[in-house]
Amino acid sequence: MTIKKELDAARSSVAGCTVAAYGDASTRLMLRSSHHDNIRRENLDELCNEAARCFGLLDATADLCNMLGDPGGPPNEAVVLTNRNSTVFVRSDKLSSEFLCLVCAAQGDHAAMSSAARQTLNKIAAAE
């Protein structure tokens, strides 16, 4: 299945999901996306920037924990909640710059979002 079809499937598998996007946080580029017609390129660019900020904070927190003697790698998931949306960012375990994000309704099921995002990212990684 193509990346676009995987993203379409992820978006349709989660109730209220309006965007599924695959990007690279290091270059801050969305590589592929599936979304409603009212989503503009600027919206996707902002999602990519938000992912880079979230993962940067997670990495910094993990570095601090390591310095304090609490080893462990950085988490590979971030959730951003607003009054309009729930956004889940899931980072690749293999290539830490690649991520998948799902944007859903504010009352979205975060567990379902995270699961769908992780499964889709793993399928994309396996196909590369």
Rounded to whole angstroms, the Cα distance separating 42 from 2 reads 24
Q: How many domains does the chain have?
A: 1
pTM above 0.75, yes or no: yes
Q: Hey, how many other C-beta atoms are within 10 angstroms of the C-beta on 61?
A: 12
**Structural domain range at position 43:** 3-127
CATH of the domain at 46: 3.30.450.30
pLDDT tens digit string along 50-89? 999 998 888 887 777 667 677 766 678 999 999 999 999 9
What order of strands is seen across the sheet that includes strand 77-81?
29-35, 17-24, 98-105, 85-91, 77-81
Q: Hey, how many other C-beta atoms are within 10 angstroms of the C-beta on 65?
A: 14
Q: Does residue 126 carry a pLDDT above 70?
A: yes
| Alpha carbon 22 to its chain's center | 7
Contact between 32 and 21 (Cβ < 8 Å): yes
